[in-house]
Amino acid sequence: MQDLRNKSIPSMEVAQMVKKQHKELLRDIRKYCEQLAESKIALGDFFSESTYLDSNNQSRPCYMVTKKGCEFIAHKLTGQKGTEFTAKYINRFHEMEQELIIPNATEIPIGEIASYLKAIDRAAVRQNTPPYKIMEVFKMVSEQFGIRLPADFVKVPIYEQMTLDIVER
């Protein structure tokens, strides 16, 4: 499994987050890189040079910015701008972390999920588990594998709802 430490975002995205022109952010990152190099601190932990194709299909310079690099940039910003950027980059890296934790549904062998759910169904039926409870388990397992089911997938029978209402009071 990939590691979040190896994940980075392009400096164009960071520029949008900090509401700066990309060329201005590149200037700042280059300055940071010079200062880090003088201090003999590894640049790769923060920034790595890269390129991208612009709208004219021309290669342009950019940097890939790691989570540490975003933290570095955030510490250079103050006030509202710093607060907004910090929240945005934290959310962005959390999204990437979730992608690592919850695999894409297309990456999972569907046959394995189906076999697992079938085994759960057999065990639940043997234990006389109510059908809506089985469906709750199916929904929970599906969501763990990144498979979304409709909100109304599990329908609790009216008599169960009434029983639950009485018990809760």
- Taking only the tens place, the pLDDT of each residue in 107-139 is 666 677 777 778 777 887 888 888 778 778 877
- CA–CA dist 8, 134 (Å, integer): 41
- CA–CA dist 26, 49 (Å, integer): 10
- CA–CA dist 164, 122 (Å, integer): 26
- Mean pLDDT, contiguous 10-residue spans, the chain (169 residues): 68 92 95 91 90 90 92 88 85 80 60 76 81 79 74 69 53
Position 1 scores a pLDDT of: 40
Indicate the SS3 state at residue 77.
coil
Q: How many residues does the chain have?
A: 169
Q: In the chain, what are the domain boundaries?
A: 4-101, 106-168
- CA–CA dist 86, 74 (Å, integer): 6
Residue matched to tokens 């079938």: 118
Residue matched to tokens 């040079």: 49
What would the two tokens of residue 145 be? 């594998």
Q: What is the DSSP letter of 4?
A: G
For residue 10, what are the β-bridge partners? 64
Q: What is the DSSP letter of 115?
A: H
Residue matched to tokens 């089911």: 149
Indicate the SS3 state at residue 52.
strand
Position 161 scores a pLDDT of: 53
Please give the model's pTM, rounded to 2 decimal places. 0.55
Q: At what angle do helices 110-126 and 131-144 cross, to 10 degrees?
A: 150
Q: Which residues contact 90 (CB under 8 A, 6 or more apart)?
A: none
Position 81 scores a pLDDT of: 83
